[in-house]
């Protein structure tokens, strides 16, 4: 249908109603022509540049109302700042600009919108400027009051707007090359719909791929009772930006010069993600990375408290990919006392700082071995040296067997309980020896004493966080791989972060960057990770089907094996018919016993399969307070067809995964005694 025909049909209707699914180039606006003029209700929008195009996005109703109240208060708008988006953005009313509070982002234009036209390609409404909207509103008011229509206005861009009547208002674009003697407005291409007010325009827009928005939706569906009883508030998610400062050094330009032009997507992923791994293992950049991450985390936390002085909740942290490894290293090197601002050494070191730990004399007194202090003092053996002594060394100093065992056990216990086997030493030059951490004693021995095995991390002075995180969530994390290549064989089951109680390692089964943690705590036992429930409370259908088929094939296999055993037994007896009667009788008597044993073998296998399917309690240590650590997402049906095809995508899936967000919310709210409305199966 042409636009002219559409216009004629709409003009001929006495009481037309707009169709949201209409394909026409403009829509009719429902109004009562005989009604008196009523001022338009404004709504506030901000402009985002998406794919090099301006896109106008409405503020939610609450923020728009706050902006309108500030605008209508009669006070000078210059210098007036209105927090929006939960305090994550500030709108400077006089400038009409929107600024991010916690991270760096280009400022966005803000507009008080009353009149709109529909765009050509995306069919979205675009607001007119505030000044031209005022002109349109004044013209509309005169037309309604005087009942004089067919008003024609020209915008600053020489675009023509015609108000035919309250139900039909159109917008014509100028034709390229036309001048004052050119065509009339009705001949200047396809008309656009002009709309007054925001009725029928959605003004509560959420980004589907936004972690924060997913959590808000899940609150409505899974924590509805707690919300209705006002037991909980929402969880705020604030990003920590460390990537941009790292890549502002010009190295990206140098790297782009040597990057091959083929397989662009994969090479971009390599340059943008894997390159950071090399940065983190470089002494040039590693210190910059940990300093940037820790200082940004502290800055955001301080700023949040300043803007929310009544905040009483806890703080949890999440890291994705390399970010999770950075957080792991920072948390490992924290002190359990926030009052101690010395971040050069952490509480995990075997050799404690002088002055705030027991002296050698005090340790010996605690062991009831004070009489040997003079011997150590004579040999110039301090606590650090004594920690390195072997049984032979103590024997040569004249220490009897009993006291030797007490001393060696004391220092060995301290190594295991703290989880670090290599002490931090301060050389005479004042430079830092690499702080190498290992979370268990090494299996390499010599003369009965443990050897130190470093983890290969470069020399780094780890900054202190000014708060204690409740939980640490790692998404698609290579922590396990990095600990292994650093030389760590096993994590001490008693080890836990000094300042963080919880740790969840969450990953997609096809994520090429993710590794498990639990096998490093319990290396001798094979067991599956915890399967994250679907957010709708069920296992995905294709997984249930796969498990059913696996169970069915196992049953068929067991039955087939049992039948084959019986057949083989009959076959092996067939060539011996001339056996003596006594032997035959013995065999006949033994047969029931034998046949009763064989099915029991099958039953044993079936029982073992059933037992294997049961979730048995597994001790995975204290890294997550005794709870399980590894949690795996359920792949989608389409992903199961080709795991290689979805490998890169699976590494980025966590921020839009409802299952991931629900697990995060569940664990965070459980720290406050709040549980899901209905437990997931």
**Pairing, β 192-196 against β 115-118:** antiparallel
Pairwise CA distance, residues 78 & 76, whole Å: 6
CA distances from 463 to 20, 79, 296, 341, 483 (A): 56, 36, 11, 9, 20
Beta strands in 518-670 (DSSP E): 530-531, 630-632
The CA dihedral of 320, 325, 330, 336, to the nearest 10 degrees, is: 90
Closest CA to 188 of 170, 165, 168: 170
How far is it, in rounded angstroms, from Cα 484 to Cα 397? Answer: 38
Cα angle 582, 585, 588; round to 5: 155
Q: Which helix (H) or strand (E) holds 473?
A: strand 471-475
Does 129 qualify as catalytic in the annotation? no
The Cα 666–Cα 11 span in angstroms is 56
Query: What do you get for the CA distance between the two ends of the chain, in Å?
Result: 53
The span from the CA of 11 to the CA of 2, in Å, is 14
* Cα dihedral: 540, 650, 622, 331 (round 10): -150
Cα distances (Å, whole numbers) of residue 315 to 44, 162, 469:
32, 56, 5
Q: For 261, which DSSP code?
A: S
**Rounded-to-integer distance, Cα 569 and Cα 192, Å:** 87
In three state form, how does the secondary structure of 178-201 look? Answer: CCCCCCCHHHCCCCEEEEECCCCC
Q: What is the per-residue burial (b if ≥16 Cβ within 10 Å, else e) of 229-265?
A: eeebeebbbbebebbeebbeeeeeeeeeeeeeeeeee
Question: Which sign does the torsion angle of CA 666, 670, 672, 677 carry?
Answer: positive
Sorted by sequence, the CB contacts under 8 Å of residue 619 that are 6+ apart come out as 493, 522, 626
- Among the options 321, 324, 437, 441, which is catalytic? 321
User: Are 447 and 524 contacting, i.e. CB atoms less than 8 angstroms apart?
Assistant: no
Q: Are 445 and 439 in contact (CB under 8 A)?
A: no
CB contact at 8 A, 222 and 665: yes
Alpha carbons 442 and 450: distance in angstroms, whole number: 6
Whose CA is closest to 452, among 392, 520, 384? 384
Catalytic residue ranges: 321
């Amino acid at each position: 249908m042409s636009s002219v025909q559409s216009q004629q049909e709409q003009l001929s209707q006495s009481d037309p109603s707009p169709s949201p699914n209409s394909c026409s180039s403009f829509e009719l606006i429902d109004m009562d022509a005989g009604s008196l003029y009523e001022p338009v209700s404004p709504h506030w929008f901000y402009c985002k540049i998406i794919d090099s195009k301006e896109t106008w996005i409405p503020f939610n109703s609450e923020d728009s109302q706050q902006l309108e109240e500030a605008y209508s208060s009669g006070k000078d708008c210059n210098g007036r700042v209105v927090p929006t988006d939960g305090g994550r953005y500030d709108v400077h009313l006089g400038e009409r600009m929107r600024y991010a509070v916690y991270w760096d982002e280009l400022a966005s234009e803000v507009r008080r919108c009353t009149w709109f036209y529909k765009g050509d390609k995306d069919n979205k409404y675009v607001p007119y400027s505030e000044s031209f909207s005022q002109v349109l509103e004044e013209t509309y008011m005169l037309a309604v009051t005087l009942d004089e229509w067919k008003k024609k206005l020209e915008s600053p861009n020489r675009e023509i707007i015609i108000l035919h009547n309250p139900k039909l208002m159109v917008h014509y674009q100028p034709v390229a090359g036309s001048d004052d003697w050119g065509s009339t407005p009705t001949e200047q291409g396809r008309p656009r719909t002009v709309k007054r007010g925001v009725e029928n325009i959605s003004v509560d827009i959420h980004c589907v791929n936004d972690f924060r928005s997913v959590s808000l939706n899940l609150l409505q569906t899974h924590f509805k009772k707690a919300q209705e009883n006002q037991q909980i508030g929402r969880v705020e998610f604030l990003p920590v930006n460390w990537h941009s400062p790292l890549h502002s050094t010009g190295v990206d330009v140098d790297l782009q010069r040597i990057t091959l032009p083929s397989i662009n997507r994969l090479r971009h992923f390599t340059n943008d993600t894997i390159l950071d791994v090399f940065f983190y293992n470089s002494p040039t950049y590693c210190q910059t990375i940990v300093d940037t991450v820790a200082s940004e985390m502290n800055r955001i936390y301080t700023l949040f408290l300043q803007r929310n002085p009544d905040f009483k909740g806890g703080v949890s942290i999440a890291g994705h990919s390399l970010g999770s490894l950075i957080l792991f290293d920072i948390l490992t090197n924290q002190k359990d006392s926030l009052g101690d601002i010395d971040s050069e050494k952490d509480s995990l070191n075997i050799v404690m700082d002088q002055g705030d730990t027991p002296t050698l004399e005090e340790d010996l007194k605690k062991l009831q071995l004070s009489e040997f202090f003079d011997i150590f003092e004579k040999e110039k053996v301090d606590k650090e040296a004594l920690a390195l002594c072997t049984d032979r060394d103590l024997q040569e100093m004249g220490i009897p067997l009993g006291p030797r065992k007490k001393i060696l056990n004391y220092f060995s216990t301290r190594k295991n309980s703290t989880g670090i086997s290599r002490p931090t030493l301060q050389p005479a030059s004042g430079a830092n020896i690499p702080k190498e951490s290992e979370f268990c004693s090494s299996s390499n021995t010599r003369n009965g004493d443990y050897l130190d095995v470093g983890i290969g991390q470069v020399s780094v002075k780890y900054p202190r966080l000014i708060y204690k995180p409740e939980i640490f969530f790692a998404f698609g994390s290579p922590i396990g791989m990095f600990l292994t290549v650093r030389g760590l064989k096993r994590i001490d089951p008693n080890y836990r972060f000094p300042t963080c109680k919880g740790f969840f390692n969450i990953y997609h089964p096809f994520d090429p960057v993710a590794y498990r943690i639990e096998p490093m705590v319990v290396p001798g036992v094979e067991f599956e990770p915890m399967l994250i429930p679907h957010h709708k409370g069920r296992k995905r259908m294709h997984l249930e089907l796969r498990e059913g088929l696996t169970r069915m094939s196992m049953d068929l296999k067991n039955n087939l094996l049992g039948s084959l055993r019986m057949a083989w037994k009959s076959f092996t007896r067939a060539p011996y018919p001339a056996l003596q009667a006594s032997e035959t009788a013995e065999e006949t008597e033994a047969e029931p016993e034998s046949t009763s044993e064989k099915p029991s073998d099958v039953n044993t296998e079936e029982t073992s399969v059933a037992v294997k399917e049961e979730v048995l309690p597994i001790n995975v240590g204290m890294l997550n307070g005794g709870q399980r650590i590894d949690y795996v997402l359920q792949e989608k049906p389409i992903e199961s067809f080709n795991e290689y095809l979805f490998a890169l995508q699976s590494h980025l899936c966590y921020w839009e995964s409802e299952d991931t967000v629900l697990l995060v919310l569940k664990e965070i709210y459980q720290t406050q005694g709040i549980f899901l409305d209905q437990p997931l199966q």
